[in-house]
Structure 1
Amino acid sequence: MAFQWSRCASYLAAAVTAVSLAACGSSSVESQLSPSRVIAFGDGQSDIGQSGSRFTINGLTDVRANWTEEVASAYGRTITPQISGGTSYAWGNTRIVAKPDAAGDASTPTLSDQIDSFLSADAFGGNDLVLVSSGTSDIIVLAQQALNGEITQAEAIAQMRPISAELTGQVKRLRDSGAKYIVVIGAYNMGKSVWARSVEQVAFLEQMSIAFNEGFKISMEEITYQPNVLYVDFEQYINVVEYQPEYYALDNFSSPVCNSIAAGPGIGIGNGKVDSALCTTSTLVSTNYDRYGFADEVYLTPALHRQFGNWAASTIRDRW
């Protein structure tokens, strides 16, 4: 295939591979890419404060709390929010092109809006590394519609394919605008989330996530982007961590470490739910927060972000 996408044939093989990568810490391959800048677009998986807070534990100044920061650090670079003069445009709850966002806010810039904002004031350099996360908010919105009886679960799953094509369209924009090194992580398997278990919809949310990611990979294959685009398998990584969390020094993958309750819609899964955008070191259920996988019912802790970012950086180095 011109653009190689693959799902592991064996779940155990995937676990062994990811655990091996985690143990190694980084690739032994000498990277040819030395990014001038690391630029990020996306949703709450990549928001490092552009929306006003992070979708994880906030206020940890002595650690890299997001996977994009870990990737940047691997190349000796830093990344900060665009509102602070940096290059991270990622905004929590944002969708790919649709509005309102996962929490019902129509003012949140979509992924498309973020790219518009960058291109209106800047241009990609030949060695810029571009990181993209997307899918989580769109899955939340459609899943909530199904759970509320507005559409059927089958209809929600079917809509994932055209929504994933929207992501492909935005990646195409990046490439056509001069980005040479684009990394896309898609959505993790939200059937592994605390939310999926709390609403007893593990299979449904897993099917939603798979439909989105597979749709994106198929459409990317059809366009053939191999020289410029790398898919880093967020879905596979979280599957493996959930399967054997002890290899990642995690004791709790079933409940959130934050207890910061949003009175309103928060992260989009309903009123009165834990919202990691409100979470600080003062709103934790345990001081051992690095032993938890989830900050709230959907978004990850800094500890898991760092480990995924380390693995992502290793994967990027292997490619470029």
Structure 2
Amino acid sequence: MTGKWLRRAVLLAACASAAVLTACGSSTIESALAPSRFIAFGDGLSDVGQTGTRYTVNDGSINVWTQQVAASYGRSLTAVSAGGTSYARGHARLLSATDDVGGSAMSVKQQIDTFLAADKFGSNDVAFINGGLGDLLAQYASSTDATTLSNVMAQAGTDLGTQVRRLVNAGAKYVVVSGLYDASKSPWGVASGQASNISAAVLKFNSALLLSINDLGNNVLYIDAAYYYNLVIASPSGYGLTDSTNIACTSVDSGKGIGIGSGQVNSSLCTTSTLASGINYTTYTFADKVYFSPAAQNLYGTYAYGRMKSRW
């Protein structure tokens, strides 16, 4: 069975039980959710500027998917470091405080610890949570062995599920969980020579995550990042984009950058002044070899918003 069809089988199995039907978007809508606030936990794919910049083209726009969802509800979302409620931080791993470049970044677990120590969920709060990219990059840098990579990522998926459960147990009524996108389709993954191993590891992560939250359908909505971004990457023109192969930014980081080695383009350093010559970055899928452009981020945010409106 190929990875694609195995992935579909896992999703169908997850959606087969009555307990999780609502998590897969099958519930009957009785009232429209009007969120009081959005609270986010996660890694660089959801970081709205914890250290001042974001992992995309820093053009001053709404350019992170969680922000796009909040804006669609008429709300805003800013980083905790700026007085907001987004704890998501670039390079964050799920449990380890050692980040994906060997430094220190508050893990997803620690982000939740910090929130729960000082705050609590209101009845109309929405929590976003994602993770796994930092764990993937850190393990890949340590070893590309296919079995080890898949085993580590399967455990990471379970670990994310545990953090989702913590949010629900702490009173979160609306939890939006973003799966991990298939990084084998990123410019980094394509060039790695290990695309099949990376894809298999991502599949293990998302499958373990789904299995670990399959009884939380009353409160949890899973957004399938791998499914959605695979569509965008395979057919960018269908989404108003032109390029899913090349990267928009030229902001090379002489250090460890985004976790794929030194001397690589790092989108957290990217502005409209550090773009490839002659391009229209608003039609690119990737800002650097791992992270998405504002357009791709906003497309995913719009997709997530549609799923939320259908569910809640």
The answer as to whether partners of 2:162 and 2:212 remain within 8 angstroms in 1 is: no
Q: Secondary structure at the match of 2:247?
A: coil
Matched residue type, 1:192? K
The answer as to whether partners of 1:143 and 1:153 remain within 8 angstroms in 2 is: no
* Distance in 1, Cα, partners of 2:132 & 2:260: 15
How far residue 233 of structure 1 moved from its aligned partner, in angstroms, is 0.5
- Name 1:261's counterpart in structure 2: 252
Q: Secondary structure at the match of 1:191?
A: helix
Pick which of 161-170 and 124-133 moved more.
161-170
| Aligned mate of 2:131, from 120, 134, 139 | 134
The answer as to whether partners of 2:154 and 2:201 remain within 8 angstroms in 1 is: no
Q: By percentage of residues, which structure has more strand?
A: 2
**Structure 1 residue 309 and structure 2 residue 292: aligned?**
no
TM-score calculated relative to the size of structure 2: 0.89
- Name 2:16's counterpart in structure 1: none
The answer as to whether partners of 2:127 and 2:174 remain within 8 angstroms in 1 is: yes
| Aligned mate of 1:300, from 292, 300, 306 | 292
| Aligned mate of 1:124, from 105, 121, 124 | 121
- Name 1:94's counterpart in structure 2: 92
- Name 2:109's counterpart in structure 1: 112
Deviation readout 1:278-300 (Å, 9 max, x if unpaired)? 11111100440011100010000
How far residue 263 of structure 1 moved from its aligned partner, in angstroms, is 0.9
Matched residue type, 1:83? S
Any residues of structure 2 matched to 1:167-246 within 5 Å, and which?
167-221=160-214, 224-246=215-237
Q: What count of residue pairs does the alignment treat as equivalent?
A: 287
Deviation readout 1:66-92 (Å, 9 max, x if unpaired)? 101110011111111111111111000
The answer as to whether partners of 1:31 and 1:317 remain within 8 angstroms in 2 is: no
- Name 1:165's counterpart in structure 2: 158
Q: Secondary structure at the match of 1:40?
A: strand
> Which runs of structure 1 show a deviation greater than 2 angstroms over 4 or more consecutive aligned residues?
6-9
* Distance in 2, Cα, partners of 1:176 & 1:213: 21
How far residue 232 of structure 1 moved from its aligned partner, in angstroms, is 0.5
Q: Secondary structure at the match of 1:187?
A: coil
**Structure 1 residue 36 and structure 2 residue 41: aligned?**
no
How far residue 51 of structure 1 moved from its aligned partner, in angstroms, is 2.8
Matched residue type, 1:311? Y
Q: Secondary structure at the match of 1:95?
A: coil
Q: CA RMSD in A?
A: 1.5
* Distance in 1, Cα, partners of 2:30 & 2:248: 37
Q: Secondary structure at the match of 1:318?
A: helix
Deviation readout 1:184-207 (Å, 9 max, x if unpaired)? 112101111000112222111111
Any residues of structure 2 matched to 1:279-298 within 5 Å, and which?
279-285=270-276, 286-298=278-290
Q: Secondary structure at the match of 1:293?
A: strand
Q: Secondary structure at the match of 1:65?
A: coil
Q: Which runs of 5+ in 1 are unaligned?
A: 1-5, 10-28
* Distance in 1, Cα, partners of 2:8 & 2:71: 29
How far residue 7 of structure 1 moved from its aligned partner, in angstroms, is 4.8
| Aligned mate of 1:68, from 66, 69, 92 | 66
- Name 2:81's counterpart in structure 1: 83
**Structure 1 residue 145 and structure 2 residue 138: aligned?**
no
Q: Secondary structure at the match of 1:299?
A: coil
- Name 1:16's counterpart in structure 2: none
* Distance in 2, Cα, partners of 1:77 & 1:69: 8
The answer as to whether partners of 1:95 and 1:135 remain within 8 angstroms in 2 is: yes
Deviation readout 1:23-50 (Å, 9 max, x if unpaired)? xxxxxx8961110001111000100111
Deviation readout 1:151-207 (Å, 9 max, x if unpaired)? x22111112121111111111111111111000112101111000112222111111
TM-score calculated relative to the size of structure 1: 0.87
